[in-house]
């Protein structure tokens, strides 16, 4: 998990350090916070599988402002519970014999989204981290990502995958939700 968290922090630090119109454009291209676009990082190292996902609050609960009433608070709590349910979010091949070791989800306000610090408080993101130990990692060739089924606001997931065959960038969509190792 430490590797994945580190990658996320580096990406966010780079975005925050940049300034000016060019930097704003770059942020959008990198998908740091684009509504409809989530990012995913997956790493398979020996039998250890780790996945981290970040998605805009808009795609998860339909709003990004602070919850204004109990219904909105409940919606956020329900989303966090669902995100933390690794079995609902991913289909792993049974043959790989993976056992869940970690699953957590959190919501955070973004300090600098869309290149406009003035409305920073209006943007939030959901983060989720998952870890598994797999008895037969060689059987782990694809993982079906089910975020699209639970959160229709997500149109695309930009995935960075590190596995036995190296590092690849993959684009997942509702029509093509399979992560490849
Ligand atoms: Zn936003």
Q: Compute, in angstroms, the gap from residue 70 CA to the centroid of ligand 1.
A: 21
Q: Compute, in angstroms, the gap from residue 28 CA to the centroid of ligand 1.
A: 11
pLDDT score at 113: 53
Q: Compute, in angstroms, the gap from residue 88 CA to the centroid of ligand 1.
A: 25
Q: Compute, in angstroms, the gap from residue 139 CA to the centroid of ligand 1.
A: 38
Q: Compute, in angstroms, the gap from residue 86 CA to the centroid of ligand 1.
A: 25
What is the span of the domain harbouring residue 158? 2-180
pLDDT score at 117: 52
What is the distance of C-alpha 142 from the center of its chain? Answer: 17
**Residues 6 or more apart in contact with residue 59 via CB below 8 angstroms:** 35, 36, 38, 151, 153, 154
Torsion sign (Cα): 158, 163, 96, 47: negative
Q: Compute, in angstroms, the gap from residue 93 CA to the centroid of ligand 1.
A: 34
- The token pair that represents 80 in the structure block: 């966090």
Candidates 33, 171, 46; CA nearest to 111 is: 33
The neighbourhood of ligand 1, an ion, using CB within 5 A, equals 56, 64, 123
The H or E element that residue 159 is part of is strand 156-163
pLDDT score at 94: 97
What is the distance of C-alpha 50 from the center of its chain? Answer: 12
- The token pair that represents 115 in the structure block: 């290149």
Q: Compute, in angstroms, the gap from residue 34 CA to the centroid of ligand 1.
A: 7
Query: What CA–CA distance (Å, rounded) separates 96 from 29?
Result: 35
Digits of tens for pLDDT over the chain (181 positions)? 333 433 343 333 333 333 334 333 333 333 468 999 999 999 999 999 999 999 999 999 999 988 999 999 999 999 999 999 999 999 999 999 999 999 999 998 876 555 555 454 578 999 999 999 999 999 999 999 999 999 999 999 999 999 998 999 999 999 999 999 9
pLDDT score at 33: 85
Domain count, the chain: 1
């Amino acid at each position: 998990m430490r590797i994945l968290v580190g990658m996320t922090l580096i990406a966010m630090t780079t975005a925050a350090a940049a300034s000016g119109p060019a930097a704003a454009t770059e942020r959008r291209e990198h998908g740091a916070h684009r509504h409809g676009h989530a990012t995913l990082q997956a790493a398979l190292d020996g039998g250890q599988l780790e996945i981290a996902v970040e998605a805009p609050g808009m795609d998860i609960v339909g709003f990004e402002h602070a919850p204004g009433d109990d219904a909105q608070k409940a919606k956020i709590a329900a989303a966090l519970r669902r995100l933390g349910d690794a079995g609902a979010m991913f289909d792993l091949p049974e043959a790989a014999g993976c056992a869940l070791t970690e699953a957590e989800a959190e919501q955070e306000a973004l300090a600098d989204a869309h290149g406009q610090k003035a409305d920073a408080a209006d943007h939030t993101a959901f983060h989720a981290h998952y870890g598994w130990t797999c008895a037969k990692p060689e059987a782990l060739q694809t993982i079906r990502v089910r975020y699209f089924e639970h959160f229709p606001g997500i149109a695309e997931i930009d995935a960075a995958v590190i596995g036995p065959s190296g590092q690849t960038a993959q684009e997942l969509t509702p029509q093509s939700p399979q992560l490849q190792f």
